[in-house]
Structure 1
Amino acid sequence: MTTTQRVRVIESLEECVPRPGEAKVFLAGGMHNCPDWRADAIATFERSWPDRRPLGLFSPRRSVSGSSGFDEAMVGWEHRHLSRADLVLFWFPAGNAHRPEQPIALYELGAAAASGRPVAVGVEHGYRRRPDVIAQLRYARPELPVHHDLGSTVRAAVRVLGSGTYPLRDAS
């Protein structure tokens, strides 16, 4: 875990002990066959987050275990922390042209969009499933903009969290 006074990062398999008044964001999106975009997202949050209250960023980074890459402990961690987040930020980077789909992130986006919970979504030009993400969200959440760069996606999350119109979830 890395921590500053305002922003802390809770990484894979670390449990979150909430701080009073802390807003929590889950960084969902491409994990394999794509660049490590989370470092850029974290840096943008650190520059953009106002001083008025703390922010916790849940940053999964899966280490592949076994030939399938499946890790039960990691799936459990992601499930718990997705449910604890006040907002889920989704970023779909262009990534590897041979395997860019990011199926688990697409599944998580579908679940979050259907639930009506606060999300910020960005899809980089060149991501093969970009038209699908945009079209599906147009039907499921027509009020939700789809951003085309990571910086504007992070700034959208900051605006939503700063508005105070979302429910803070209990961290238990």
Structure 2
Amino acid sequence: MTGSPLQVVGSLEQVPSVPDALTVFLAGGMRDCPDWRQWAVEALADQWRRSGTGRPVTVLSPSRAVPGRAFSPELVRWEHEALRSCDIVLFWFPRGNEKAPEQPIALYELGVAAATFKPIAVGVEPGYARSNDVTTQLRLIRPDLSVRHDLDATVGDAVRVLRRTGEALGAAYSTAAALQAV
């Protein structure tokens, strides 16, 4: 995105080292569902710009459609590392894929993130087959977390977490600089 502090990194791409960049991983439905990731990236760019912070954001946007590659352990490894290292995971569970509507890998990733208390923003599109499971399980482990039913609202939750993370990092950098000056 030209003129934006937002950079998108896809599956198997090297995650750039950008000073002060925050990272968000887009987790959720991949097969036989709308291209919600593109919508999420556009909403993130817009909401981040309007948030007034100039800090860069790297969006880790996995895809099973990697040119010249089918599913591979390298893809799984890339996603695992990206999920582990990001500042927040944005989960979106879209309806679709009538053959396998559950999105089991995304549900697994949600369970791991929720259990480790990784910052997450979660949304479930109305009509998603396992909506009640997502809501009930999260209510048990993360009772203060709202599960949204709109992608823009889910992005808004992620932006608020990114802002707080950026502010905390800024304060930590200021403290470290002050201590070095002593």
Q: Which residue pairs with 1:87 in the alignment?
A: 88
1:25-83 Cα distance to aligned partner (Å, 9 max, x none): 00000011211100000000110103420000000011289xxx631110011011111
TM-score by length of 2: 0.84
**Number of aligned residue pairs:** 164
- Please state whether the residue corresponding to 2:82 is helix, strand or coil: helix
5+ residue gaps in structure 1? none
1:18-29 to structure 2, matched below 5 A, reads: 18-29=17-28
What amino acid maps onto 1:14 in structure 2?
A: E
Residue 110, structure 1, aligned to residue 114, structure 2: no
CA contact (8 A) 1:34 1:95 kept: yes
Q: Which residue pairs with 2:158 in the alignment?
A: 157
5+ residue gaps in structure 2? 170-182
CA contact (8 A) 1:33 1:99 kept: no
Tell me the CA shift for residue 9 of structure 1.
Answer: 0.0
Following TM superposition, the consecutive aligned residue runs of length 4 or more in structure 1 with deviations greater than 2 angstroms are 2-5, 164-168
TM-score by length of 1: 0.89
CA contact (8 A) 2:64 2:71 kept: no
Q: CA RMSD in A?
A: 1.9
What amino acid maps onto 1:18 in structure 2?
A: S
What amino acid maps onto 1:153 in structure 2?
A: T
1:55-66 to structure 2, matched below 5 A, reads: 55-63=57-65
The whole-number CA distance in structure 1 between the counterparts of 2:23 and 2:7 is 10
What amino acid maps onto 1:38 in structure 2?
A: R
What amino acid maps onto 1:116 in structure 2?
A: F
CA contact (8 A) 2:22 2:166 kept: no
Tell me the CA shift for residue 139 of structure 1.
Answer: 0.3
The whole-number CA distance in structure 1 between the counterparts of 2:168 and 2:85 is 11
More helix by share: 2
After superposing the two structures, state which structure 1 stretch, 159-168 or 85-94, moved more: 159-168
Report the structure number with the largest CA radius of gyration: 2
The whole-number CA distance in structure 2 between the counterparts of 1:117 and 1:73 is 23
The whole-number CA distance in structure 2 between the counterparts of 1:100 and 1:7 is 31
Tell me the CA shift for residue 18 of structure 1.
Answer: 2.0
The whole-number CA distance in structure 2 between the counterparts of 1:76 and 1:36 is 23
